Amino acid sequence: MTRYKKADFEEDISSIGSVQLTEGVSSTATHIRYHTGTTFWKSRTVLEKCLIVSVVSLLVIVFILSLALSATGGPSRYVQYAKVSESGAGSPKVCLSETCVKTAASLMSSIDKSVDPCDDFYEYACGNWIKANPIPDGKSMWGTFVQLETRNQLVLKTVLERPKTELKAGAEKKAKLYYLSCMDANETIETLGGKPMLDLLSTVGGWSVAGSFDVKRFNLQQKLQTLQNKYNMGGLFSWSVQEDDKNSSLHIIQVDQSGLTLPTRDKYLNKTANEKLLNAYLDYMTDMGVLLGGERNRTRGLMQDVLDFETRLAEITIPDEERRDEEKMYHQMAIAELQDRAPFLGWLEYFSDAFRSVKKKITDKDKIVLYAPSYLSNLTLIINEYHRTEKGNETLNNYLVWQMVNSLRSCLSKNFRDTYKGVKKALLGTEGGEESWRYCVQDTNNLMGFAVGAMYVREAFHNESKAKAEAMISDVRIAFKENLKALKWMDPETRKLAEEKADAITDMIGFPDFILDPKQLDDKYDELDIREDTYFQNNVNANIYTLKQNLKQLGQPVNRTRWSMTPPTVNAYYTPNRNQIAFPAGILQSPFYDVNHQAALNFGAMGVVMGHELTHAFDDQGREYDKHGNMHQWWNNKTIERFNVQTECVVKQYSSYEMGNKHINGKQTLGENIADNGGLKAAFRAYTDWAASHPEEAPLPGLNLTHKQLFFLSFAQVWCSASTEEATDLHVEKDTHSVPKYRVKGSLSNLPEFAENFNCPIGAKMNPKEKCVVW
């Protein structure tokens, strides 16, 4: 439920299928500076300058094109020339439009021709891109997703800095105020220092780290109700109002494990491997406490107790790879039964206190869904142990208040924000250091993304992209259903139900319509109080607002058109309990999609994204939900057994991949790997079906690749990226997606059509004899 500020460790590992917001980054475009006589250039008129630049640019394009064409030698083992008509003099007809020339140059500049595509297609497709795109200073990762995010941030900066009179809705003006409060032109944040936090600490009952706390008056029930039900802070467990997985037309309270500050449980438990990080984390905690008035040695001791408590939570936290069967995790019960399972808290009093703010009455017969019963049972034992001593109660209070202090650190002055640099360096290999406006743009989008999205859509989104994207989704859906017919492990009855589910998947493209209606947009943010000069308080208000909006959903019908991502987001997602796929406006741009691109490029990039999200409806978790979005067993047992055999192949395949000194977790990444493979297969079939019914497009200049080969190149190059060793390790350990290199290699090596089109012999690394096929 908690509206956390973007986690500092969640940098730009953007991935299709999950919501991962990105930080801003600086451009790495190479600027070539010409040394010319100033008199000549300054004496030119604006028109003359434009003409000179146009002529020079045209000559450069022609020169590059001529070099590319002349560099094309005879076909290698893997190149198959496209069959094209000739225009005379033995010259093949190629596409020489501006878009084609620029696209060809971009694709070609990334390819490393010294690499055999049958040996390592990722290195072939991205090798030169990686060499030419070093990770920018202060960043831990750089790739296509990040580049698009930075491009979108520039658009958002432009619209957020326009005069209020040019904004359409009051909500847009409110977003601008929040952005200005973050930018802090009057340095109010620096002037206030830690005062806003100290005032809040006093309000929530004090913190012994900062010197004012009476342990004899500590009451866990009251502390949790204050921090979580009033200020929407985290700690010990998480809960929210969401769609009921087994009756997706209703909302229900859901309770789950939570409470760790570091990104994974392993960071606490594997102390030898994470000694540097744990020391940096303790230093950070200590520095924050000292800045808020604590004496250093005493503060370090108190914070060590908090770290030890978090380690106890990590020990009872269930690993993600063991939580993939959502049907087994689902435990619906009355609040009275929850009380019996986890008596460390008066749950009826707790929930009644929370819903009092939205005037909803709760009884002990009301139902909740518990996703981690063993965690809450073990948590009860730990809390009972800590309750036995005053020191234990002091540690519980310090831990809970620390969750609040940590979540609001970025709203304080620079000396507070800088305390985290050591942790970030240990986690990501860099201390960060982005431009403040990029952080503030993203922060505003995180809070008021649909108000910001309205401005973004008017500024940058082309409506023609929406209609064409819908047509592509239809093509991919048809191809996916055709692929179902070839699956030998699926029985006819389940196959028919799967086809019905595929047909029932609804799609949302671009943005929700309500954001362009000023009244509806204003109504959404009406209860959010924002001022230009109170960034810290704005974030406290945002937490309260987000909590109330969530609580209001209980007892209300489910809005099946509700978006979970904001329009500028460069990503896409599938929602199982709505059986719905969504593609925000932010991703519907080059290189993923361009109405002027050739079909092979659009299908290879955006088509695979669409296929990926559609296939999520049938991965190891999505398959548990029927066409209406309700979780129950709708496959027969024999088909489930055969499905598990197919998925075990995928688990073993990806578990064999290694990055640095860590193997990919094949169980943790199973769903995304299934979606990658199924999405690629469906998109390729959709493209070949499209090509069979349309006139052949002219080839791109200089590449000497067929359209089918371009499809695979386009798919691979959207994943070109580079990251620090630390960021890669964190990705492997934490993310449900495989690292980009193996998202490309893993799925392509399972697709026979890839090997056919690049003439890869059986037994080549990209064409193994044994292949894993699920969908």
Is residue 574, in this structure, part of any structural domain at all?
A: yes
- pLDDT above 50 for 58: no
pLDDT of residue 37: 31
- What integer is the mean pLDDT of 641-645? 95
Token duo for residue 334: 């009355």
The edge-to-edge listing of strands for the beta sheet with 331-334 is 237-244, 247-257, 367-370, 331-334
- What integer is the mean pLDDT of 448-454? 96
Going 439 to 442 to 448 to 454, the CA torsion angle's sign is positive
User: Which CATH number do you get for residue 394?
Assistant: 1.10.1380.10
Is residue 619, in this structure, part of any structural domain at all?
A: yes
**Which residue's entry shows tokens 């408590």?**
309
Within this chain, do residues 112 and 223 fall inside the same structural domain, yes or no? no
Is residue 375, in this structure, part of any structural domain at all?
A: yes
Within this chain, do residues 368 and 223 fall inside the same structural domain, yes or no? yes
User: Which CATH number do you get for residue 751?
Assistant: 3.40.390.10
- Rounded to the nearest 5°, which phi and psi values hold at 367? -90, 145
Within this chain, do residues 235 and 123 fall inside the same structural domain, yes or no? no
Q: What single-letter DSSP state applies at residue 593?
A: -
Predicted confidence band of residue 67 (pLDDT cuts 50, 70, 90):
very low
Segment 475-485, tens digit of pLDDT? 999 999 999 99
Predicted confidence band of residue 25 (pLDDT cuts 50, 70, 90):
very low
Domain boundary among 411, 440, 463: 411
Within this chain, do residues 398 and 485 fall inside the same structural domain, yes or no? no
Within this chain, do residues 347 and 263 fall inside the same structural domain, yes or no? yes
- pLDDT above 50 for 311: yes
Within this chain, do residues 240 and 106 fall inside the same structural domain, yes or no? no
Is residue 82, in this structure, part of any structural domain at all?
A: yes
Segment 115-137, tens digit of pLDDT? 999 999 999 999 999 999 999 88
Segment 686-729, tens digit of pLDDT? 999 999 999 999 999 999 999 999 999 999 999 999 999 999 99
Domain count, the chain: 2
Peptide bond into 92 cis (omega under 30): no
Within this chain, do residues 481 and 400 fall inside the same structural domain, yes or no? no
Going 394 to 395 to 401 to 402, the CA torsion angle's sign is positive
CA–CA separation, 699 and 104 (whole Å): 10
- What integer is the mean pLDDT of 403-413? 97
- pLDDT above 60 for 6: no
Within this chain, do residues 352 and 484 fall inside the same structural domain, yes or no? no
Is residue 490, in this structure, part of any structural domain at all?
A: yes
Instruction: Show which residues are catalytic.
Output: 613, 676
Strand pairing class (367-370; 331-334): antiparallel
- What integer is the mean pLDDT of 373-392? 97
Within this chain, do residues 297 and 376 fall inside the same structural domain, yes or no? yes
Average pLDDT, the chain: 88
- 451: number of CA atoms within 13 Å, CB side? 30
pLDDT of residue 635: 94
pLDDT of residue 463: 78
Question: What is the span of the domain harbouring residue 59?
Answer: 29-132+477-509+564-695+704-775
Is residue 203, in this structure, part of any structural domain at all?
A: no
Within this chain, do residues 569 and 687 fall inside the same structural domain, yes or no? yes
Segment 177-222, tens digit of pLDDT? 999 999 999 999 999 999 999 999 999 999 999 878 899 999 999 9
Domain boundary among 411, 437, 455: 411
Is residue 552, in this structure, part of any structural domain at all?
A: no
Within this chain, do residues 291 and 404 fall inside the same structural domain, yes or no? yes
Is residue 192, in this structure, part of any structural domain at all?
A: no
Token duo for residue 379: 């948590």
What angle is formed at CA 563 by the lines to CA 438 and CA 711, rounded to 5 degrees? Answer: 75
- 30: number of CA atoms within 13 Å, CB side? 5
pTM score: 0.86
Domain boundary among 411, 429, 462: 411
